[in-house]
Amino acid sequence: MVLRTLDSFGDLHGKTVLARFDFNVPLDGERITDEGRITAALPTLERLVSAGAKVVAMSHLGRPKGVPEARFSLAPVAARLGELVSAPVRLAGDTVGPEAAEARSAQQPGEVILLENLRFDPRETSKVDSERVEFAKQLAEGADVFLSDGFGVVHRKQASVFDVADLLPSAAGPIVQNEVEVLSQLTESPASPYTVILGGSKVSDKLGVIEHLLPRVSALLIGGGMAFTFLKAQGHEVGSSLLEEDQLDTVRGYLAEAERLGVQLVLPTDIVMAASFSADTDHVVAPADSLEGTSLGASALGLDIGPESAETFAKHIADSKTVFWNGPMGVFEMPAFAGGTKRVAEALAQSDAFTVVGGGDSAAAVRTLGFADDDFSHISTGGGASLELLEGKRLPGLEALGW
């Protein structure tokens, strides 16, 4: 399975390149709070611009319900791209309407047009094939080739990801190509010891990746909200902490399978317990086997792994040659509950191992906490797509490119 790449297009001067990016960046009003997905796309955009291509860029942002919503406009993204790209960048006020048509008809080689949010049109995400294809045909009209460089959406069977690829000569951009190479290495040929760290809120979001990676890893470290389902499965009370009762039997199975395989499945030994879910609430560190015995009472909830657990996790990272991390260890947006996530990030940054941060909240966390992208071997631009690839799933957006 070999991905078609940008080189397969040949000379692009004067040609129109319809390019799918993932500019689904977090916003605070109109302020972009994490530019990672924008900066990741810059080398691709500069390569296309320098080749003299007419670039028609497209992306979604947020989860609009198939109609335009001002809060999900790509205007902040277009403005930032205009500051960063060495070419004119124009935002079209729609996707396939009169504003996009006018902008595309006037476009010159070396210029960039960003179409408005794709999900303002319900056909982008429609479950009806004919509706998606109809939208894809309108997007593809006048384009010479299609470049897929939004890795964060390649697991979606959507018009701009899957259907457009059938209508035009298509290829993977550098972001997608690099992501596939890096993440494939984590399942096919990882250097050992190989440690996987999983966090975030729900075990149910990580079932596939746990099942697929458990036979391949040396150690599996569990933090974040999902740790409480594991602790409960071991017989510990967890107060009002996040708990998925319906996953207890599944988790017990993972604990037994890890023991059978000789994999170290490491859970927190201490937890930062809080009186309520707020930044300035009272909080204490409690042993994981007596979370309800704190001064905060049985209604307390865990919002971070404790310092002892963080140091244990850091030691496992230091002893590893390959590390994959997906999901924060706590509510890192609140300083009182960011310690576990920050310590894991520090250990990864200090490690000589091949370290991969699995996108989504993990990528946002390391940047929010002051770490640079080059502190790690690779920061993925896709959360769900990264996990599905590591689960061994076939991803529609990659299959459409020949992979």
215-241 pLDDT tens trace: 999 999 999 999 999 999 999 999 999
Does residue 342 have a known ligand-binding role?
no
Alpha carbon 215 to its chain's center = 24
CATH number, domain with residue 98: 3.40.50.1260
- Contact criterion met (CB below 8 Å) for 58 and 18: yes
| Residue of 281, 270, 273 whose CA lies nearest to 241 | 273
Residue 399 lies in a domain: no
- Residue of 52, 93, 384, 402 marked active site: 384
Domain count, the chain: 2
Specify which residues 114 forms β-bridges with.
Answer: 57, 91
The domain boundary, picked from 127, 149, 173, lies at 173
325-378 pLDDT tens trace: 999 999 999 999 999 999 999 999 999 999 999 877 888 899 889 999 999 999
Q: Which domain holds residue 20?
A: 6-173
Does residue 394 have a known ligand-binding role?
no
Residue 401 lies in a domain: no
Residue 338 lies in a domain: yes
Answer yes or no: do 251 and 317 share one domain.
yes
Cis peptide before 193 (omega within 30 of 0): yes
Answer yes or no: do 285 and 367 share one domain.
yes
* pLDDT at residue 2 tops 80: no
The domain boundary, picked from 156, 173, 190, lies at 173
d(Cα 200, Cα 236) in Å, to the nearest integer?
20
Whole-number pLDDT of residue 119 = 98
Residue 126 lies in a domain: yes
Mean pLDDT of 116-140: 98
Does residue 119 have a known ligand-binding role?
yes
Answer yes or no: do 144 and 199 share one domain.
no
Catalytic annotation present for 202: yes
Answer yes or no: do 23 and 40 share one domain.
yes
- Residue of 360, 382, 383, 397 marked active site: 360
| Residue of 220, 238, 221, 229 whose CA lies nearest to 201 | 229
Does residue 23 have a known ligand-binding role?
yes
Catalytic annotation present for 360: yes
Answer yes or no: do 155 and 204 share one domain.
no
Residue 17 lies in a domain: yes
Higher pLDDT among residues 233 and 393, named by residue:
233
- Residue of 202, 216, 321, 393 marked active site: 202
Does residue 162 have a known ligand-binding role?
no
Answer yes or no: do 228 and 161 share one domain.
no
* pLDDT at residue 1 tops 80: no
> Which pTM was predicted?
0.89
Catalytic annotation present for 384: yes
Q: Between β-strands 270-274 and 283-287, what pairing exists: parallel, antiparallel or unpaired? A: antiparallel
Answer yes or no: do 245 and 209 share one domain.
yes
Catalytic annotation present for 37: yes
Mean pLDDT of 139-159: 96
Beta carbons within 10 angstroms of residue 110's beta carbon: 18
* pLDDT at residue 383 tops 70: yes
